[in-house]
Structure 1
Amino acid sequence: MKILVTGATGNVGKFVVKELLHMGEDVVAAGTNKSKLQAMFGNTIDKVILDLTDNQTFSKALENIDRVFLMRPPHLGKPDDLYPFIQAMKDKDIRLVSFLSLMGVEKNPFPPHHKIEKQIEEAGIPYAHVRPGFFMQNISGIHSVEIRDRDEIFIPAGKSKTSFIDTADIGLAAATLLHNPIKFKHTAHTITGKEALNYSQIAAILSEVTGRTITYVSPSLFHYRHYYIKRRGLPKDYVNVTVALYLMTRLGTAKAVTNDFYHLTKKYPRTFKEFAIENINCFR
């Protein structure tokens, strides 16, 4: 049987595919863009079109599948958007679903990840939730625009700390869970980096790595939301979820550091400085 990786061309999914292949697993890469799937994976693995809002794509995607890496597409702000696919997995008797959740979500009912976790559990599907801290790729991706254009980190996190983790490390953790479905059945794992940093410290690291003076601008949640919707043109549902996450970050929910990654993989997670050096072109 095969493992279906949803969001296979994304920041986490591509690393889940990579690590599963290293483990000798038979992988099916799923996404909504056929050309992107082909460009990234060529003819090396099976590929399938899967739209989590279109149940007509479910049957083909789940054919000969016994394990699933499930992630919520960022543009889907409502948890019930994923409920039909969860039901489809239940009907297929999936052995394990590893859902890409969120650090601290078990105590925070506001992000959609909370209800999705509960829906999977209530459906009776064996699960191994992955609850990572904030992605380092958030800095090199969505927030890199202001860093490149204005030498600023424009994030409404106040003075709070965050235990950032590289999505490559998340991919390895998720692959480890899926590779051992019996061992990790009905478990949840909070995956973080090995240190918690505030954004002023992130700015200092980026300044050192780039040779420029990068400063941390801490806008209000309202100013951030207005800027990202009106100036950056990002979808309201997506921005609203990020605002909720940064509100919780201000309350200290993102600063915990765990050893779960080491316990799963017997490796240490990458530091932010190592990540910044490897991805310096994102900040130039």
Structure 2
Amino acid sequence: MKVLVTGAAGNVGRYVTEELLKMNEHAVAAGTNVEKLQSMFGGEVETVYIDLTDPSTFQKALEGVDRVFLMRPPHLGKPEDLFPFIDEMKNSGIRLVSFLSLMGVEKNTIPPHHKIEKYIESAGIPHAHIRPGFFMQNLSGIHAAEIRDLDQVFVPAGKSRTSFIDAEDIGLAAAVILHNHKNYQYTAHTITGPEALTYYEIAAILTRVTGRNITYKKPGFLTYRHYYINVRGLDKAYVNVTVALYFMTRLGTAKAVTADFTELTGRKARTFEDFARKHIGCFNKVQ
């Protein structure tokens, strides 16, 4: 049988797909840009078109599939957008859905992931929620522009601590769960890195790695929101979700360090300094 990987072109989905291949699983990379998926995986993976807001694409995508890696596309602000696909998974007899959720979301009703988890559970589908800490790729991706161009980490997290996790490690953990699906039905796993860092410490690490003086700007919520919507031009709904997450971070929801990654994989999670050195090109100024 096959494993459907939604969001296979994204930060986590690509690593889930690659790790499943190493386990000799029949992975199906799914997304709205099939040509990009074919280019990414070089023909080694079956690809299929799926639009999680278009039920007419569900049946073909789930053909021959018994397990699913499900992630919420960032542009979908309403949890109800995913409910029809969850219903289709139930009707298709999926044996395990591994949903990419958020750390602490079981106690936090604000992010859409909370309602999505609850809907999967109420549907009775065997599931294994993956609740990672903040991605290290947030810093090498969405927040890298200010690091590169302004020598600043521009995040409204105050003095809070965050147990950052590399998306590559999340992908490995998800693949282990999907590969050994019978062992992980009706479970949840909080996946974190090995340490909880403040953004001041993040800036110090980036200073060490890049050789430039990187500082933590520590903007307020309104300043951050205005900048990312009006200067960076990002979608308002997406920015609002990030504001909510950083608000919760200030309350201490992102600081826990767990052993779940090591228990699942037998490996140690990557440190942020190791990550920054591996991806230094994302933080260097463009010449």
* TM-score clears 0.5: yes
Residue 123 of structure 1 is matched in structure 2 by 123
1:30 aligns with 2:34: no
SS for the counterpart of 2:248 is: helix
Structure 2 distance, partners of 1:63, 1:119, is: 22
**Does 2:145 correspond to 1:145?**
yes
| Greater Cα shift, 31-40 or 140-149 | 31-40
**Secondary structure of 1:125's aligned partner:** coil
Distance 1:173 1:181 in 2: 12
Q: How does 1:59-208 map to 2 (within 5 A)?
A: 59-208=59-208
Distance in 2 (alpha carbons) for counterparts of 1:38 and 1:25 = 17
SS in 1 for 2:47: strand
What residue number does 2:218 align with? 218
For 2:224 and 2:150, locate their aligned partners in 1 and report how far apart those are by CA, in whole Å: 15
d(CA) in 2 for partners of 1:34 and 1:85? Answer: 19
TM superposition shift of 1:181: 1.1
1:58 counterpart residue number:
58
| Per-residue deviation, residues 89-117 of structure 1 (Å, max 9, x unmatched) | 00000000000000000000000000000
Distance 1:239 1:76 in 2: 12
Paired position in structure 2 for 1:3 = 3
Q: Distance in 1 between matches of 2:238 and 2:177?
A: 28
C-alpha displacement of 1:35: 2.0
Give how far 1:44 is off. 1.1
Structure 1 counterpart of 2:160, which letter?
S
Alignment partners' CA distance in 1, 2:32 and 2:191 = 27
Q: Which residue number corresponds to residue 234 of structure 2?
A: 234
CA distance in 2, matches of 1:209, 1:88: 47
CA distance in 2, matches of 1:195, 1:37: 33
- For residues 149-194 of structure 1, give each alpha carbon's deviation from its aligned partner in whole angstroms, at most 9, with x where no partner exists: 0000000000000000000000000001101111100000000001
1:155 match: secondary structure: coil
Cα distance in 1, alignment partners of residues 116 and 221 from structure 2: 25
3-state DSSP of counterpart to 1:182: helix
Aligned AA (1:177):
I
Task: Return the alpha-carbon distance in structure 2 between the equivalents of residues 260 and 41 of structure 1.
Answer: 29
Task: Name whichever of 29-38 and 112-121 sits farther off.
Answer: 29-38
SS in 2 for 1:16: helix
Partner deviation per Cα, 1:233-256 (whole Å, 9 max, x = no partner) = 111111010000000000000000
- Aligned equivalents of 2:217 and 2:81: distance in 1? 34
Aligned to 2:281: 281
When normalised by structure 1's length, the TM-score is 0.99
> Number of paired residues?
284
- Equivalent residue letter for 1:77: G
TM-score, normalization by structure 2: 0.98
- Structure-1 residue corresponding to 2:246: 246
Long gaps (5+) in structure 1: none
* 2:183 counterpart SS class: coil
Equivalent-residue separation in structure 1 for 2:174 and 2:86 (angstroms): 18
Note the C-alpha offset of 1:42.
2.5
Post-superposition Cα deviations, 1:19-68, rounded to whole Å, max 9, x if no partner, equal: 11111100100011122112101221100011000111101100000000
Q: In 2, distance between residues paired with 1:235 and 1:60?
A: 30
**d(CA) in 2 for partners of 1:209, 1:109:** 37
Counterpart code for 1:258: T
String of CA shifts for 1:192-227, please: whole Å, max 9, x gaps.
001000000000000000000000001111111111
Q: Give the letter aligned to residue 53 of structure 2.
A: T
Q: Which amino acid aligns with 1:112?
A: P
Q: Measure the CA separation in 2 of the matches of 1:266 and 1:204.
A: 30
Matched to 1:52, the amino acid is: L
For residues 71-98 of structure 1, give each alpha carbon's deviation from its aligned partner in whole angstroms, at most 9, with x where no partner exists. 0000001000000000000000000000
Amino acid in structure 2 at the alignment position of 1:12: V
Q: Which amino acid aligns with 2:282?
A: C
Q: Which runs of 5+ in 2 are unaligned?
A: none
Identical-residue share of aligned pairs (%): 69
Q: Does 1:40 align with 2:43?
A: no
